[in-house]
């Protein structure tokens, strides 16, 4: 599966492309409704504070940070040495020198190394990945499963029958003709041309 939503939708409606427009739109609405409903249910069943994809990213970063060395600079600032570069992490401001934490709002590998250091040596900071009891969260709130449920909650209403459509008189009286075009020579293409 691809992350390009246009490619995903094109692949899904491939069979419905030859049908009339209203039937194609109803098919697409049905597919989107099913996807939204499934994702909303998945978010409700998630046993953790954040989504599974976010936990996967943080677990991968946790693996990277196992060999890092952490040195406290001040109360919330830490120097993290990873063997290649030195990173400065501010736990309170949720910032790192490399700006990974600033940009995607998930704790970077340097921040996770600092969290492990704090839990290990001070045994006080609730920074555990994916727990519902997390008070001072290192994640942005849009990674919460409640935000995921809210994003997929709105209903996608079906297209009503044409007999109940309210069409203005000026639109109903218009005569729309197809554009003047010349058919291309040769057999029409049924599949798209793959990109290079």
Q: What's residue 124's pLDDT?
A: 53
Confidence of residue 170 (pLDDT cuts 50, 70, 90): very high
Q: Mean pLDDT across the stretch 3-17? A: 77
Residue 105: DSSP 8-state: S
Do 143 and 51 meet the contact criterion of CB atoms below 8 Å apart? Answer: yes
Higher pLDDT, 112 or 13: 112
Confidence (pTM): 0.56
Query: Per-residue DSSP letters for 131-191?
Result: -TT-SS-SS-GGGBHHHHHHHH-S--PPPPPGGG----HHHHT---PPP---PPSSPPP-S
Predicted local confidence at residue 140, as pLDDT: 72
Give the whole-angstrom CA distance, residue 118 versus residue 71: 11
Domain ranges of the chain: 1-45, 52-150
Specify the pLDDT at position 3: 64
């Amino acid at each position: 599966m691809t992350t390009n939503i246009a490619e995903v939708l094109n692949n899904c409606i491939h069979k419905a492309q030859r049908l009339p427009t209203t039937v194609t739109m109803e098919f697409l609405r049905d597919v989107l409704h099913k996807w939204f409903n499934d994702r909303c249910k998945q978010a409700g069943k998630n046993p953790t504070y954040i989504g599974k994809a976010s936990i996967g990213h943080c677990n991968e970063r946790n693996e990277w940070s196992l060999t890092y060395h952490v040195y406290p600079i001040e109360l919330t600032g830490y120097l993290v040495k990873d063997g290649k570069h030195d990173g400065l992490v501010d736990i309170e401001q949720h910032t790192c020198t490399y700006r990974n934490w600033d940009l995607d709002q998930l704790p970077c590998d340097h921040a996770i190394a600092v969290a492990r250091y704090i839990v290990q040596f001070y045994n006080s900071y609730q920074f555990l990945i994916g727990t519902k009891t997390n008070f001072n969260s290192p994640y942005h709130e849009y990674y919460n499963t409640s935000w995921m449920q809210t994003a997929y909650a709105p209903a996608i209403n079906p297209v009503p029958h044409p007999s109940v459509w309210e069409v203005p008189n000026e639109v109903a009286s218009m005569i729309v003709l197809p554009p003047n075009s010349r058919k291309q020579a040769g057999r029409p293409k049924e599949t798209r041309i793959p990109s290079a």
